[in-house]
Chains A and B, each alone.
Chain A
Amino acid sequence: MSFFRLRRFAPALIVAAAALTLAACGDQYPNSTFTHFTDNNRIIGALWDRLVFFGTIVFVFVEALLIFTIIKFRKRPGGAPARQIHGNAALEITWTVIPALILVMIAVPTVRAIYKTQAKAPDGSLKVEVIGHQWWWEFRYPELGVVTANELYLPAGRTVNFQLNTRDVLHSFWTPQLGGKRDLITNRTNWLWYTPDSSLAGQVFNGFCVEYCGSSHANMRFRVYTVTADQFASWAKHQAADAAGSPAAAATASVPVAAASVAAKPAAPVVAAANVTAAPAAVEDPGYVFPADKMPAHTVPATPLPSGDRAIAFDESVLAQGSATAGRELITNMANLGKAPCLTCHVVKGEMAMVNNDNARGPNLTHFGSRHTLGGGLFKSDAPTLARWIKNAPHMKPGSIMPTLGAGEFNPVTKQKMASGLDDRQIADIVAYLMSLK
């Protein structure tokens, strides 16, 4: 009997679950796959609606039939004895054929959608090379000469064609609100394209790595900014330029250190491809950057800094005294490279090059100061966070190959305390320099 008392609770439970679900609907779901901002997502959305429609019918029918059956045919005093039926060919054919028909109704649009979404990208689409690294994203715009990391700018209304590659293990590229995912396979090239709606300018989307890729798989995130065509052109033009304060930048347009640089390099095709109609930018034009204060809360990393006994001690008062010039000297002067070996893994365009874009193991830092996130989208990019990151990156992001640089810090990889390294003043200088690379 207790079974039936419990059974009576079941509808109540279902109602409660439904109510909870509805209540939850009032919340914001910033990564929902149900919002359709691209052609790709609308195709998938139409399929999904059909799947849910038939799925719901089958679910309700089967569960209702099951519940009805067990209640109607439960053993009761004076109830009918069991009828000894062994089978019924007509019935069995029926419940073979009906599901088959439902599946046909799913299969046809599925196959259509497969060919539609995997067709060749339309001509004139913007090409973006997405390169996966453990555990950060490199984004290149080969037609524009731009190399950046973890933050992707897309012009709204223009088809973007992603060329997906990885330098190490497998990753998968996914921005739920803009389209389905596609894996990055070593020694192979994959493609994915979609067109963000023209109405999308001024929005930010979260992106994720969705193929397990080792220790910090969870920390391999990125942001997508959808901007207007003009904003994009302005951004791209500046991003293609040499780093502020670099000899190359100074040679082309004698700008002072720490000021914004220009893109007056011999880059005529770049300008053409970017459809830049405006006259060559003014020397001080810092280029468009998505305004940090316009970023919705869910796109601003909220990862807390290591705290308590895991905290990385840093004297924040020295940050104000950081000198960009001294920081640049620390990073680029050959004599200091043992101490601040940044350029053995990172590229700062226009500065002395130890590596090039193809064998760089860390993100391109040329315009680091124009980015809003740090460490594969894990942290908000501000001076105190960056200082601690330089001091002990692998402590802030498990497995990170960025070495522990702060003197006296415990290196979680070698499991040793750093006997020598950078002191807080030197780190403040490097922070000032990197932040000046707008």
Chain B
Amino acid sequence: MATTAAIPATGAAHDASSESGLWSWIATVDHKRIGTLYLFTALFFFLFGGLEAFLIRLQLAQPNQHLVSAEFYNQLFTMHGTTMVFLAVMPLSAAFFNYLIPLQIGARDVAFPRLNAFSYWVYLLGGIFITVPIFFQVAPNGGWFGYAPLTTIQFSGGMNIDFWVMGLQILGISSLAAAFNFITTIINMRAPGMTLMRMPMFTWMSFIVQFLLVLAFPPITIALVFLLFDRFFGTQFYAIAAGADPLLWQHLFWVFGHPEVYILILPAFGLVSEILPTFSKKPLFGYHVMVYSGIMIGFLGFGVWAHHMFAVGLGATADAIFAMATMLIAIPTGVKIFNWIATIWGGEVTFTTPMKFAIGLVALFTIGGISGVMHSSAPADTQQTDTYFVVAHFHYVLFGGSIMGIFGGIYHYFPKMFGRYMSEKLGTWHFWLNFVGMNLTFFPMHFSGLLGMPRRIYTYDAGQGWEKFNLASTIGTALLVIATLVFVINFLKSRKGGAPAPNDAWGAGTLEWSIPSPPPDYNFAEIPVVTSRYPLWDLKHPEMTADLAHSGPDAMTITDAHATPVHEETGHKTAAELGIPMPFPTVKPLFTALGIVIMFGGLLFMHLDKFALAMTITLGGATLLVGSLYAWLTSPLE
């Protein structure tokens, strides 16, 4: 790789986007900056959720401990789950959606840049709204699943659950807005020649995830609206005294909750599908099957929710149907695993840090998949559900799967985002500490669960046969803390001091690697014309894509810094100099988001019996929302 040739382009590439200072970030509508904001915010919440997990593990290191009170422990595990799902893993995926989708499909931005900024601000403010209460020990304490009737006002009179209900409602707005934005972007803004079946696998998996978001969030929105109205306005959707059926909540929640699992894992699958081919120097094995299996997973994901309810007593027939439907999902998932291994097979594998994490995902997700099949067998699940065996299972899926894939993605795309490589040495340390720590934390939980240890307990009695496994889990968590610190140091150090990266940092084949690192704010000086799945390999390694279907003009119009000096020249120019219209920076989406959060926040005062104050704040928020939205919609984009 002609590393030196590209260095000048790195520093000077983004005159326009190099505008720094707080204001340029607050008013930004650039998808890359928003992606970066998502990344930093989500990493912060990831650390916060990790800290909560560490406290949980310290409490459980020994039987009958009282490091934290029962009440605070219940807040900790509720917020650990809520934080990791809604504030860490989903937004980490969103960071990649934002940063990568336009680059991978050859677009200059997303379809609705201001809506994109709005999504981020809603996420940030909603995240703060739901997180701050823990500092006052009034954090949500009903579990991330918030089962009624425990979360109704009869059993949870405090404000704890209010923060959760409204926080999730706010975060849902962010997810839905982003999902519509990306669906529109992917459908409408692909570069010429970028057919659906030429899209990079990350974009494909993201595309599926956006549909899952659009379809899965309405059920939980309904569930939350019911609960919100129960708590504030005296409706009786979940009021047991009025004869409510608690299963209403469970069905609505899990119709959302199970697709949510695929919302968390498919983006990581997409990232791994970019990393494995790059470092095996081979195209992805069985591209079509990978796409279809992703669609199958997403589709079947909506038909299996009741496997979270095998102990609920739905009846034998329902249990049997959901057990079999759940088993079906193992098939497309297994196909993915085998196709990844087949991608590596016959390649020239280099073990860079992103590659280690990608292989780690394949190895660890497999374990989570196998224990998943064990849960699908409903009678067996009656011995497993709500024990630590389940905790082990979904951490293999979400930590071994999502988090490993996302870490791989961060190491992989860091050079593109910041123009510098992360340290391979620290990265290797991070990987191995993470790998060993993860297994030491979660593997023993299989045993503690099968040996009878229930979930969500703040303490347990001595002599139950669980001590060793819990101690091992806690030691493993300490390793994970160290691993994460190594990552943070690497991340912060490499931003300024990492080795400079060229445009094509790893020799990958997709469009995002054809433009400078970091990209100029307009991404592509000229929109590329795509003729196959790996346009950059077409250009640089035609032998690698010779067998692939090609169509379109013979001449590659894609420009690359190594191949054509043209791009280097344009790379120095601003959007204005090139005559590319760019959207104006604006803070209107931020104020719209602020209006929503104030509107919800005002309701909290109703619980303090300050009705007038509550209505004033809520109406104030609504006014801000409507006013900013009006100003936003009546001002031109560019």
Contacts and interface: CB of A to CB of B under 8 A. Distances in A.
A185 B244 CA distance: 11
A187 B246 contact: yes
B374 A55 contact: yes
The interface residues of chain A, by DSSP majority, are classed as mixed
A79 to B, nearest CB: 7
Nearest to B347: A82
Interface stretch (B67-75, B223-231, B260-268, B562-570): B67-75
A69 B454 contact: no
A111 B323 contact: yes
Interface string A216-237: 1111010000000000000000
A208 B451 CA distance: 12
Contact of A31 (B319, B453, B469): B453
Interface stretch (A60-68, A268-276, A311-319, A361-369): A60-68
B450 interface: yes
Place the interface of chain B in its size category: 35 or more
B339 A209 contact: no
Contacts of A69: 341, 344-345
A329 to B, nearest CB: 35
Nearest to B533: A86
Contact of A209 (B63, B155, B454): B454
A298 B452 CA distance: 13
Contacts of B454: 174, 208-210, 218
Nearest to B385: A181
Interface string A14-32: 0001001100100111111
B426 to A, nearest CB: 12
A169 to B, nearest CB: 4
A216 B70 contact: yes
Contacts of B245: 187-188
Given A55-B374, A107-B327, A181-B383, A118 B316 contact: yes
Nearest to A302: B462
A185 B312 contact: yes
Nearest to A13: B436
Interface stretch (A44-52, A239-247, A250-258, A429-437): A44-52
A21 B347 CA distance: 36
Nearest to B541: A84
A169 B344 contact: no
B184 interface: no
Interface string B356-370: 100100110011001
B240 interface: yes
B289 interface: yes
B24 interface: no
Interface in A186-232: 186-188, 190-191, 206, 208-219, 221
B443 A17 contact: yes
A51 B377 contact: yes
A103 B331 contact: yes
A248 to B, nearest CB: 33
B557 interface: no
Given A86-B287, A86-B547, A182-B313, A114 B323 contact: yes
Interface stretch (A94-102, A139-147, A281-289, A419-427): A94-102
Nearest to B466: A31
A164 B381 CA distance: 19
Nearest to B432: A6
A85 B244 contact: no
Interface string B432-454: 10001001000100010011111
A22 B464 CA distance: 18
A172 B311 contact: yes
B319 A114 contact: yes
B452 A32 contact: yes
Contacts of B337: 62
B149 A186 contact: yes
B347 A62 contact: no
Contacts of A304: 64
A194 to B, nearest CB: 11
A24 B468 contact: yes
B450 A34 contact: yes
B608 interface: no
Contacts of B334: 95-96, 99
B387 A218 contact: no
Contact of B461 (A28, A47, A301): A301
B331 A44 contact: no
B475 to A, nearest CB: 12
Contacts of B349: 70, 73-75
Contacts of B436: 13
A55 B369 CA distance: 9
B461 A75 contact: no
B443 A32 contact: no
B330 interface: yes
A176 interface: yes
B222 interface: no
A58 B370 contact: yes
Given A44-B380, A51-B374, A82-B346, A185 B155 contact: no
A85 B284 CA distance: 9
Nearest to B377: A110
Given A31-B451, A63-B363, A180-B311, A73 B150 contact: no
Interface string A292-318: 000001100111100000100000000
B607 interface: no
A118 to B, nearest CB: 4
Contacts of A54: 373
A92 B246 contact: no
A170 B250 CA distance: 11
A85 B287 CA distance: 11
Contacts of B450: 32-34
B490 to A, nearest CB: 16
A177 B349 CA distance: 49
B334 to A, nearest CB: 4
B461 A29 contact: no
Contact of A212 (B351, B428, B439, B455): B455
Contacts of B347: 73, 82-83
Contact of B283 (A84, A188, A399): A84
Contacts of B56: none
A142 B439 CA distance: 49
Nearest to B461: A302
Given A176-B452, A215-B70, A186 B319 contact: no
Contact of A106 (B156, B377, B457): B377
Closest 7 A/B residue pairs (Cβ)? A31-B452, A180-B382, A218-B457, A398-B70, A29-B465, A176-B452, A83-B346
Given A99-B334, A186-B244, 5 more contacts: A3-B351, A91-B342, A113-B379, A176-B451, A212-B386
14 contacts: A2-B428, A17-B439, A66-B362, A80-B348, A86-B287, A96-B335, A99-B335, A118-B315, A164-B313, A174-B386, A212-B456, A302-B63, A304-B64, A398-B70
Interface of A: 2-3, 6, 13, 17, 20-21, 24, 27-34, 41, 43-44, 47-48, 51-52, 54-55, 58-59, 62-63, 65-66, 69-70, 73-75, 79-88, 91-92, 95-96, 99-100, 103, 106-107, 110-111, 113-115, 117-119, 134, 164, 168-170, 172, 174, 176-177, 179-183, 185-188, 190-191, 206, 208-219, 221, 297-298, 301-304, 310, 398-399
